[in-house]
């Protein structure tokens, strides 16, 4: 045996090229140059690939430019910098430092032998002001093992990504301005269409999915004419739906106010771009609920997404939309006075909605989550399904045992680790049951990416959303369950308050009440 080992060692020393070929990292040619990734058994990964030029210097507050070409093979074994934000080290939706304006990179996780596999492009949340596609929470390896290619990306945040000013509009000469973060997402999707074949993906079978602001971005991209044809399925997780959108003129006014506060009144584009990143961040984060995210610029977005859905202008594609069972556990009574979240509530809506809840406790516990997340998701599902588009709604209700003493339902963003099967990155401990539910949920998501329908295999049946008889899947600790829309009368009252009382709202609310019956209630 010792002689055999010595002989093998001698052969390795004599022919080192053979040994290195066995462990050579995978390499792929892209439009900008070759990249080498890393192999990990059943999957391969490529990290930190530029999908656009660094938006720095004269390219700050400009539409993304194509990434510059490089010679040789670029190592793609480390994540790129996260985009500029007020850094929160304990936020599990944020990847590691460094942080830079040079941050427009993406990451790919693929089955080792993938060929024309469906592609899933993840858009992270964080209120459009924080987060990154580089967080361990969004490691796509477990999804890739189910036969899909996963892409995660960074996009410009806060005032770096969503900012308008008269001087920037004037110099743009009619080109799109303001929605730079959305433009980044579109640039990344174009990169995927052009390059993903080399990584084993099918550019004609792309699903976009995102949570919170990422889910809101999914809804926006579904209605953007500049994103049309870049994806084939969409999943919006806790993606709001009735958030405020400023017009370009209103956003320019807000931008001019910011510039003046930063010591640059009547600034030119050059002066604005000379502001340091620290100065921009020091002004504080824009607030998504008051119009601090995407704006109606007339090019990327022509109107609020829910209005585009109402007009049938959205992409006519299979769509999953849903929410968590207790998104924001903020008592309704706490939303008065100076609480900034209260600014998202139309003045008379609480009083109109309260009477529709079964009791005061249910109203106090659920109203804010219902107004921000549940009712808008139901409205989007109804509008999309009415036009004949395959639509599937869900409620995520899983609360790990370690969190049950703190929360009476699944709070905002707690679904992400179940979708990605990255329970090790959860904010609290999880157990074998959570792992089993995560396998089922990620199976629904990857099944949808493959066929446009989440059903298949041994998973419990997920009903297609029918506006006349609305049903959804409730993803529970005990497993998925076919269910009615929760708190149907309250959701109807909120819808009536948001849209104004209408025959369509009333009939839909009656359908939800009929479907709910008296046998099922959650929260």
> Which pLDDT tens digit goes with each residue over 62-83?
999 999 999 999 999 999 999 9
Active site residue ranges: 212, 327, 412
Domain stops at, among 317, 348, 369 = 317
Three-state DSSP string of 63-113 = CCCCCCCCCCEEECECCCCECCCCCCCCCCCCCCCCECCCCCEEEEEEECC
Helix, strand or coil for residue 207? strand
Let me know whether 42 and 191 are in one domain.
Answer: yes
What's the pTM? 0.92
Let me know whether 245 and 379 are in one domain.
Answer: no
Average pLDDT, integer, range 184-193: 98
Q: In what order do the strands lie in the sheet with 233-237?
A: 38-40, 43-50, 105-111, 149-153, 117-123, 201-211, 233-237, 319-324, 391-396, 471-476, 479-484
Let me know whether 348 and 266 are in one domain.
Answer: no
Let me know whether 337 and 190 are in one domain.
Answer: no
DSSP 47-58: EEEESS----GG
Q: Give CA separation, 63 vs 16, 119, 163, 181, in Å.
A: 48, 25, 12, 9
Looking at residue 333, its pLDDT comes to 78
Asked if residue 246 has pLDDT above 90, the reply is yes
Contact 301, 385 (CB under 8 A): no
Average pLDDT, rounded, for the chain: 91
Look at the chain and report how many structural domains it folds into: 2
Let me know whether 270 and 359 are in one domain.
Answer: no
Q: What is the pLDDT of residues 388-404, one digit of tens each?
A: 999 999 999 999 999 99
Asked if residue 135 has pLDDT above 60, the reply is yes
The reply to whether 283 falls in a domain is no
Let me know whether 74 and 159 are in one domain.
Answer: yes
Instruction: For residue 359, give the CATH number of its domain.
Output: 3.40.50.1820
Range of the domain at 516: 331-523
């Amino acid at each position: 045996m010792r002689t055999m080992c010595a002989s093998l060692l001698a052969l390795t020393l004599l022919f080192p090229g053979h040994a290195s070929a066995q462990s050579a990292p995978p390499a792929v040619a892209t439009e900008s140059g070759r990249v080498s990734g890393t192999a990990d058994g059943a999957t391969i990964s490529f990290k930190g690939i530029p999908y656009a030029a660094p938006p720095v210097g004269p390219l700050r507050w400009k539409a993304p430019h194509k990434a510059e070409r490089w010679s040789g093979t670029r190592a793609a074994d480390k994540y790129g910098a996260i985009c500029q934000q007020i850094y929160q080290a304990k936020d599990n939706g944020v990847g590691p430092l460094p942080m830079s304006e040079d941050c427009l990179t993406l990451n790919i996780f693929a089955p080792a032998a993938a060929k024309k596999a469906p592609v899933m492009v993840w858009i992270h949340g964080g209120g459009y002001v924080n987060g990154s596609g580089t967080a361990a929470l969004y490691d796509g390896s477990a999804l890739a093992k189910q036969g899909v290619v996963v892409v995660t990306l960074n996009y410009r945040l806060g005032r770096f990504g969503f900012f308008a000013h008269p001087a920037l509009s004037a110099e743009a000469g009619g080109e799109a301005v303001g929605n730079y973060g959305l433009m980044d997402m579109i640039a990344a999707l174009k990169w995927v269409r052009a390059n993903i074949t080399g990584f084993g993906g099918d550019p004609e079978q792309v699903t976009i999915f995102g949570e919170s602001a990422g889910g809101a971005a999914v809804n926006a991209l579904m209605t953007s004419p500049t994103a049309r044809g870049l994806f084939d399925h969409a999943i919006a997780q806790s993606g709001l739906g009735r958030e405020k959108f400023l017009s370009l003129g209103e956003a320019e006014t807000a931008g001019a106010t910011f510039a003046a506060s930063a010591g640059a009144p009547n600034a030119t584009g050059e002066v604005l771009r000379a502001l340091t990143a620290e100065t921009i961040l020091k002004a504080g984060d824009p607030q998504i609920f008051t119009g601090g995210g995407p704006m109606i610029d007339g090019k990327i977005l022509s109107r609020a997404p829910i209005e585009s859905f109402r007009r049938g202008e959205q992409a006519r594609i299979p769509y999953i939309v849903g929410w968590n069972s207790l998104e924001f556990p903020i008592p309704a009574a706490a939303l008065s006075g100076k609480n900034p979240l209260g600014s998202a509530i139309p003045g008379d809506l609480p009083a109109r909605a309260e009477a529709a809840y079964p009791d005061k406790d249910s109203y106090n516990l659920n109203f804010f989550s219902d107004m921000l997340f549940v009712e808008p998701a139901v409205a989007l599902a109804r509008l999309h399904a009415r036009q004949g588009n395959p639509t599937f709604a869900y409620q995520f209700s899983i609360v790990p045992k370690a969190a049950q003493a703190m929360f009476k339902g699944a709070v905002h963003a707690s679904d992400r680790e179940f979708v990605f099967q990255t329970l090790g990155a959860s904010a609290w401990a999880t157990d074998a049951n959570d792992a089993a539910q995560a396998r089922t949920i990620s199976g629904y998501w990857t099944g949808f990416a493959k066929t446009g329908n989440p059903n298949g295999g041994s998973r419990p049946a997920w009903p297609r959303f029918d506006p006349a008889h609305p049903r959804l899947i409730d993803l529970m600790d005990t497993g998925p369950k076919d269910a009615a829309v929760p708190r149907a009368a309250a959701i109807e009252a909120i819808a009536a308050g948001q849209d104004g009382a209408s025959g369509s709202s009333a009939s839909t609310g009656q359908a939800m009440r009929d479907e709910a019956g008296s046998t099922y209630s959650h929260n």
